[in-house]
Amino acid sequence: MSIEQTHIVPEAILGVSPMIAACAVLFIVYFFIITEKIHQTVIALLGAVAMIYLGIVNQHLAIQGIDFNTVFLLIGMMVLVGIMQRSGFFQYVAIISAKTVRANPRALLVVLSLITAVFSALLDNVTTVMLIVPITLLLTEQLKLNPYPFLFSQIFFSNVGGMATLIGDPPNILIGSAVGFGFMDFVYNVGPPAVFVGIFLFLFFDIVWGRKMQTSMRARAHLLRYDAASALTDKPLLYKSLFVLALVLAGFTIGHAHGFEPGTVALSGGALLMLLDTFSVSKEEQGKRIHKAFGEVEWDTIFFFIGLFIIVTGVEHSGLLAIVAHWIVDVTQGDLVMTGMTIMWVSTIASAFINNIPFVATLIPVINSMATDFGGKEMLEPLWWSLSIGACLGGNGSIVGASANVMVASYAARAGQSISFLKFMALAFPLMIVTVLIATIYAYFFYF
């Protein structure tokens, strides 16, 4: 099937082929996202409307191109977590864990990393680190420990934990939504390599840092006096939040088989928790709380996604991505394993330096276009997992590789513990390569 048959290519725009115009818009948007000269949301929206003004897509097609499943999933989870964090639950878990390991620094490095991984798998990575980093800084200050190993480890575990589930990391949300994978598809396919990588990282961080950490008995005794229960500021809200979170996770797990997409589940979870939180309070208080709950939604992120979806729809519509797809298949000589490995490693390197969200959003239609080359959409499954692994683990390669990394670095700077780009990368990049190698071995034996 030729490209012309699969895509309706619009007329030439001012004498320029739509493919070149779309390519130019994509290039300019990427340029500004990478150089950060213009805020990513602004440039994504400008790129999106440029696609419409240039006639590459009309508004109707542009709106059709927005993946509202992803948008609803993000909004629903942001509302849910925004309300839940008011209960003090995250500090509570961190303090309980620190006390469980008797404030032993070596064990503390492990438990805080584990908490980061688990929360990142169930919640958004940036939110997770925003909750875990301040309490980590308090605990390390109390124990007179250098916070750097803890922050480094949390960056890695937020990306590894995020890789394990559909909702853990934006690339997975995009892939799951575009392809129709369910929550458990991710758990079964990218969960195991995430666990293997996690085990390796636990051992590595213990050898490099954990076993050498020392603190005084007096400092440990102080930390053991912390009253974790006092960190829980609103117990009824905590119970409501945990109840709704459990329902949402159950909804993700079983909803897929019944045709309910994650966007619906997350949005209903957000709405239910808002209902429980505002039930039987005055009208004014209801208004205040709902306003606050929606204030927790990162609208700039939401509109970044919306802009990207429209840009990618425009580029896809121009026929450019299909050409890229056929080119990749040609280069890899139509070999599925070669194509999968290429996708994994290219996305790894790309994600280490540029935002993995636009990268994955662009690559999804490229992979989709390979269906005819490999004999049907169902044959593409290994390629999706390869993309997920590359995009999520690649984020560990540099301090700008993922939004969570940037957030940790920003907190570290505020605490007077700046993480330098090169110092981080000197260890993180090779370590990231090893983690992708582990995932590559897993992929070779289990995906293809």
Tell the smallest beta-carbon distance from residue 226 to other proteins (Å): 5
Does 217 interact with other proteins (rule: CB under 8 A)? Answer: no
Alpha-carbon distance 361 to 371, whole Å? 17
Alpha-carbon distance 370 to 289, whole Å? 47
- Quote the DSSP letter at residue 369: T
Q: Taking CB under 8 A as the criterion, which residues in 137-176 touch other proteins?
A: 137-138, 141-142
Binding mask 388-417 for other proteins (x = CB under 8 A): -----------------------x--xxx-
- The region of 24-32, 129-137, 321-329, 336-344 touching other proteins under the rule CB under 8 A is 129-137
233, 235, 243, 331: residue in contact with other proteins (rule CB under 8 A): 233
- Quote the DSSP letter at residue 181: -
Measured between its terminal Cα atoms, the distance across the chain in Å is 26
228, 249, 338, 438: residue in contact with other proteins (rule CB under 8 A): 228
Other Cβ atoms within 10 Å of 357 Cβ, number: 24
- The region of 30-38, 135-143, 286-294, 396-404 touching other proteins under the rule CB under 8 A is 135-143
Beta carbon nearer to other proteins, 286 or 410: 410
Distances (CA, A) of 269 to 16, 74, 130, 235, 247: 47, 12, 22, 19, 7
- Quote the DSSP letter at residue 298: -
Report which of 340, 358, 311 is spatially closest to residue 444, judged by C-alpha positions: 340
Beta-carbon contacts of residue 445 (< 8 Å; ≥ 6 apart): none
Tell the smallest beta-carbon distance from residue 214 to other proteins (Å): 19
Alpha-carbon distance 106 to 41, whole Å? 41
DSSP-based three-state secondary structure for 8:
coil
Does 238 interact with other proteins (rule: CB under 8 A)? Answer: no
Does 320 interact with other proteins (rule: CB under 8 A)? Answer: no
Does 311 interact with other proteins (rule: CB under 8 A)? Answer: no
- The region of 42-50, 100-108, 174-182, 222-230 touching other proteins under the rule CB under 8 A is 222-230
Alpha-carbon distance 8 to 43, whole Å? 26
Alpha-carbon distance 266 to 382, whole Å? 27
Tell the smallest beta-carbon distance from residue 78 to other proteins (Å): 16
Report which of 370, 378, 391, 14 is spatially closest to residue 173, judged by C-alpha positions: 391
Alpha carbon 112 to chain centroid, angstroms:
19
Beta carbon nearer to other proteins, 134 or 191: 134
- The region of 133-141, 348-356, 387-395, 429-437 touching other proteins under the rule CB under 8 A is 133-141
Does 418 interact with other proteins (rule: CB under 8 A)? Answer: no
- The single-letter code of the amino acid at 194 is A
Q: How many residues touch other proteins (CB under 8 A)?
A: 23
Beta carbon nearer to other proteins, 223 or 364: 223
73, 135, 265, 409: residue in contact with other proteins (rule CB under 8 A): 135
25, 95, 178, 213: residue in contact with other proteins (rule CB under 8 A): 95
Beta carbon nearer to other proteins, 360 or 404: 404
Environment class of 295 (CB within 10 Å of its CB; exposed 0-12, middle 13-18, buried 19+): exposed
Residues lying near other proteins in the complex (CB under 8 A) are found at 88, 91, 95, 130, 134-135, 137-138, 141-142, 222, 225-231, 233, 411, 414-416
